[in-house]
Amino acid sequence: MTAAPYKQPLLETPLHARTAPLCLTGDWAHWAGYLTVNSYRTVEQEYFAIRNAATLFDLSPMRKYRIAGPDAERYLNRLLTRDVGKLKPGRVGYAVWCDDQGKVLDDGTVFRFGPEEFHVYSQERHLNWFLDSALGFDVTVTDVSEDIAAIALQGPQSFSVLQALGLTGCAALKPFDMAEFTIDGLAVTLSRTGFTGDLGYEIWTESTHAVALWDRLMAAGADHGILAVGSAALDLARIEAGFPVANVDFIAAEQALRATRRRSPLELGLGWMVDFEKGHFNGRRALLAERGRAAGYRLVGLDVAGNKPARDALIYHGRDTVAGFVTSAMWSPTCKRNIALATLKRPFETGNQALWAEIYVKKEGKWEKVVAPCRIVERPFFNPPRRRATPPLAY
Amino acid sequence: MAMVREPNSNSRNARVPRGVRVKGRGGVKTYDIIVIGAGHNGLTAAAYLARAGLDVVVLERNPYIGGATVSRELHPGFTYSNCSYVSSLMRPEIMRELELSKYGLQIIPYEGGVTMTRDGGYLASYNDHDMNRREIARHSARDAEAYDRFAIETARQCRFIKPYLMQTPPDPASFKWRDLKGMMDLGRAFYDLGEEAMYDTLRFWTMSCTDFLDQYFETEVVKAHKAGSSIIGTALGPSSPGSAYVLLHHYMGEVDGNIGAWGFARGGMGAISSALAQAFQAAGGEIRTDAGVAQVMVKGGKAVGVALEDGTEVRGRRVVSNMDVKRTFLKTVDPKDLPEDFLRQVRNFKIRGSSGKLNIALDGLPDFPSIPKDCPARQGDLHITDSIETMERAYDDWKDGMWSREPYLDMMIPTQLDPTMAPPGKHYMSVFVQYVPPKLADGPWTPEKRDAFGQTVIDAIAEYSPNFKDLILHVEVRTPKELEDEVGLTEGNIFQGELTLDQLMFNRPIPGYAQYRSPIRGLYMCGSSCHPGGGVMGAPGANAAREILLDVGGWR
């Protein structure tokens, strides 16, 4: 159906007809081969809409896989580090999957629709890995990425928008719950999930319904300051939420040329997602061995002094010992702190040592070095009570 | 955090572990610090002091906290920012150090503003540089480029002032090392500005806004749009010498590093005092409302506590006043306890009120046909004064003891961005009014005159918004009289004292007393009467706390 790649280097998402006219800045990004919006007008305005009002984000380029069959649960338990058996139908779980060395291939979300039906959504492409892993299991793995469009409705007023649409039933949804709804005759799956660390939902529907769904959400959100937001604003929100991104904060194991760049879930601070009791899974043996000893690296949250974002900064212990490096950094307007995600080497990951970020700042054409003390802090950096309140608050 | 102890505190108390109530003589508890007034500066000072381990109580006259940084629900479902209404100057250091975000404070920046013109046109301002240039160019291509020069020269001055906001002003007449060093640093920073900016600094601090803007712009509406910031809260006209500084004062704030940007506090300005109060209470502080202070008790030249209006006494080793300098020393301290010279200067402190405020609950969004419906600057500050001459005439009315017949208005509809202040689809409008005299030529303010003033403002808005009057559900009208009676600001001056060069830096509030101390030992000032002045900065409170801690620690 689509043109040859040389004719159309980038695909349009099912929402392109709506997002394109709103993108006044021409600030487009490339995401998994799709043309997506980086910012519509100003990143600042979009960021604050995420933290103050309600926002729509075109999530359609996410990779979506349907996994169904009598062995679906057994298969996913073999594939993922979590115990999928504990995930009840109507629930969503955050998950990672590893190679045989226990290094993370990617992270994503698992939706359980029924006893024998799951969807797995992720940033990177994994059809090949998923199909190979299915050998010997009675399951079908289907790439449904093109069939399903998705809109993230995020922000403190997102529940009010759903109420304005008449979706009163969604009040009972707890974080990581999902349910089927109909919005003006459009069948959707609504999950209370998101990438902003705030109150928010993701709405999944057939690609052909995407534009109609977008229009209804926009209309219902008119009195709630609804705004379309691009990847730039979302990235700020996700750093505040403390979520690492594959190939930004860690390298997907399959893509790493240097073996030392690969990270285990334990090193990423995702040890809580590894269930050693559930039986065998990919990477279990390596992770069991790793569990016994201190991790070589750890992904941590940092609070950096001053107000200069520590982008790409090296972290030092003392004058010349490199303790690690920053992978994501920002001045957080909501926390009023200078925050960063960083990978620290052993033994500096414990937070007992004095750490410094070496930040380079260009001031009117001249580079200046800022050496800012920093300390390890809990993630998420921003964790408002409204994220968890059920029924959700109006704003 | 280490407990800060007084060097002279008696050894009996010094051994009592934290958290145990210590009774003074006669079984009455003695606080380390009493703060009079729960305004944002009083709470800021209190929070810093409590976090340093001191036992602090804040006494507030009203049944609610906040002073002029207050949000109240006067009409069901609507939250007003009853006095101050936008935030920019609140120092980011304070928000960070006191963890105000943790206590729910969120500042939402808004985009630009609009001045509507008499002929049905408009001039908007935008944060984006090129959008802004093209908007001014609709009125004058020359002014559009002059704006760049104006912006950079203003920014240079802001950079010069910024470090001094969170510093105690050095005393030029003192030979103490820190004052000498302070003066040297100031001189050096001034020298570093470079030749042209050095000249500009003096002009900026002394010129009138009109003269200042005339150096750059030729178009009336462009000048009027800029000049508004020079008269807000000020008993000066745009052509009065000294008004250019007030413009600068409104430009030197920031939202997340964007210098000059302004924002709404989510949930109203009361969210700032609420977050400060929570930070204070989390550090063990105590707030008492309905506890108006009648008098500061002084014994042997030292403050020993306060007497409340109901006659009860609260004892404390140090007393910090968040009230303005006149209210503190002319109404709350016995004149016998003060040197005559000091008293005279307090009496002469300029604190003339000049502003009023309307808070309006609206049934829907008022239409302003002059401004395109989808113009984002609608979410910013809206004005209807399109010439400096009109502003000057408005000031003439004030001098004559009358509210301006054609007032300068700073209108905002924060509910376009903030969902928390009104029900969906309904709106709260804040209308700041310049000029309104504290005393009328024809006798004192009465409720009738207050309402007539309110009607003048409503009529003025209705000329630019045909559906405005029909949408009004409730109006709170505040003249300088209400600001004095309810908030406690002498003459209703919103800055707790005018921002003119004679009352700034080491001269604020009184020469020789700019370091937050008073002639009475143990009595301090932390309100906007002190350096660096008003505008919801928190800096006077934080600076005062630092000075108090120096005294408590015996470091000075």
ipTM of the complex: 0.91
Residue in A52, A335, A382 nearest the CB of B108? A52
Q: CA nearest A53 in B: which residue? A: B419
Q: To the nearest whole angstrom, how far is the Cα of B534 from the nearest Cα of chain A? A: 22
Q: Which domains does chain A have, with CATH numbers?
A: 11-62+146-241 (3.30.1360.120), 64-143 (3.30.70.1400), 253-377 (3.30.1360.120)
Contacts of B100 in chain A (CB under 8 A): 336
Q: To the nearest whole angstrom, how far is the Cα of B453 from the nearest Cα of chain A? A: 32
B131: left (phi over 0), alpha (psi -120 to 50) or beta: alpha
Q: Tell me if chain B has a CB within 8 Å of the CB of A242.
A: no
Measuring CA to CA, which residue among A381, A324, A317 is closest to residue A354? A317
Q: Which residues in chain A land under pLDDT 70?
A: 1
Q: Tell me if chain A has a CB within 8 Å of the CB of B38.
A: no
- Give me the residue spans of the domains in chain B: 11-69+87-105+267-350+497-552
Q: What angle do CA B124, B129, B133 make, to 5 degrees?
A: 55
User: What part of B 73-102 touches A (C-beta under 8 Å)?
Assistant: 92, 95-96, 100-101
Write the pLDDT tens digit of every residue in B414-430.
999 999 999 999 999 99
User: What part of B 313-372 touches A (C-beta under 8 Å)?
Assistant: none
Higher pLDDT, B57 or B156: B57
Cis upstream peptide for B532 (omega within 30°): yes
List CB contacts of A130: < 8 A, sequence separation 6 or more. A65, A67, A79, A120, A141
Q: CA nearest A42 in B: which residue? A: B128
List CB contacts of B357: < 8 A, sequence separation 6 or more. B82, B83, B85, B430, B431, B432, B433, B476, B477, B478, B483
Q: What is the pLDDT of residue A62?
A: 96
Contacts of A223 in chain B (CB under 8 A): 424-425
Residue A372: beta bridge partners? A357
Both tokens of A264, joined, read 């285990």
- CB of A37 closer than 8 Å to CB of A58: yes
**Is the confidence at residue B1, as pLDDT, over 50?**
no
Task: Compute the average pLDDT of residues B189-209.
Answer: 90
**Residue in the structure block whose two tokens are 């009409």:** B75
List CB contacts of B477: < 8 A, sequence separation 6 or more. B356, B357, B358, B450, B451, B453, B454
| DSSP 8-state assignment for residue B259 | E
Q: To the nearest whole angstrom, how far is the Cα of A332 from the nearest Cα of chain B? A: 8
Measuring CA to CA, which residue among A305, A242, A211 is closest to residue A94? A242
Q: What is the pLDDT of residue A218?
A: 98
Distance of CA A132 to the CA centre of its chain: 25
Q: What is the pLDDT of residue B111?
A: 85
Q: Tell me if chain A has a CB within 8 Å of the CB of B121.
A: no
State which fold the B11-69+87-105+267-350+497-552 domain adopts: FAD/NAD(P)-binding domain (3.50.50)
Gap between the Cα atoms of B429 and B236, Å rounded? 26
Band of pLDDT at residue B555, cut at 50, 70 and 90: low
What are the backbone angles phi and psi of residue B388, rounded to the nearest 5°?
-65, -30
Write the pLDDT tens digit of every residue in B212-236.
999 999 999 999 999 999 999 999 9
Both tokens of A59, joined, read 């999530």
Portion of chain B with pLDDT greater than 90, in percent? 84
- Strands A34-39 and A11-12 come out as parallel
Q: What is the pLDDT of residue B27?
A: 66
Gap between the Cα atoms of A178 and A191, Å rounded? 4
Q: CA nearest B255 in A: which residue? A: A333
Q: Are the beta carbons of B106 and A51 separated by less than 8 Å?
A: yes
Contacts of A156 in chain B (CB under 8 A): 419
Q: Are the beta carbons of B419 and A42 separated by less than 8 Å?
A: no
Q: Are the beta carbons of B257 and A331 separated by less than 8 Å?
A: yes
**Is the confidence at residue B3, as pLDDT, over 60?**
no
Task: Compute the average pLDDT of residues B192-200.
Answer: 89
Q: What is the pLDDT of residue B2?
A: 40
- CB of A190 closer than 8 Å to CB of A172: no
Contacts of B416 in chain A (CB under 8 A): 225
Q: What is the pLDDT of residue B26?
A: 56
Give DSSP secondary structure letters for B452-477: HHHHHHHHHHHTT-TTHHHHEEEEEE
Write the pLDDT tens digit of every residue in B310-348.
999 999 999 999 999 999 999 999 999 999 999 999 999
Write the pLDDT tens digit of every residue in B239-275.
999 999 999 888 888 888 888 889 999 999 999 999 9
Gap between the Cα atoms of B65 and B46, Å rounded? 13
Write the pLDDT tens digit of every residue in B459-499.
999 999 999 999 999 999 999 999 999 999 999 999 999 99
Contacts of A336 in chain B (CB under 8 A): 92, 95-96, 100-101, 105
Across the A:B interface, residue pairs with CB atoms under 8 Å apart total: 55
List CB contacts of A87: < 8 A, sequence separation 6 or more. A93, A110, A112
Gap between the Cα atoms of B351 and B323, Å rounded? 13
Contacts of B101 in chain A (CB under 8 A): 334-337, 382
Both tokens of B192, joined, read 């570093």
Q: To the nearest whole angstrom, how far is the Cα of A373 from the nearest Cα of chain B? A: 15
Task: Compute the average pLDDT of residues B194-203.
Answer: 88
Residues A125-136, buried b or exposed e (16+ Cβ, 10 A)? bbeebbeebbee
Q: What is the pLDDT of residue B16?
A: 43
Q: Tell me if chain A has a CB within 8 Å of the CB of B420.
A: yes
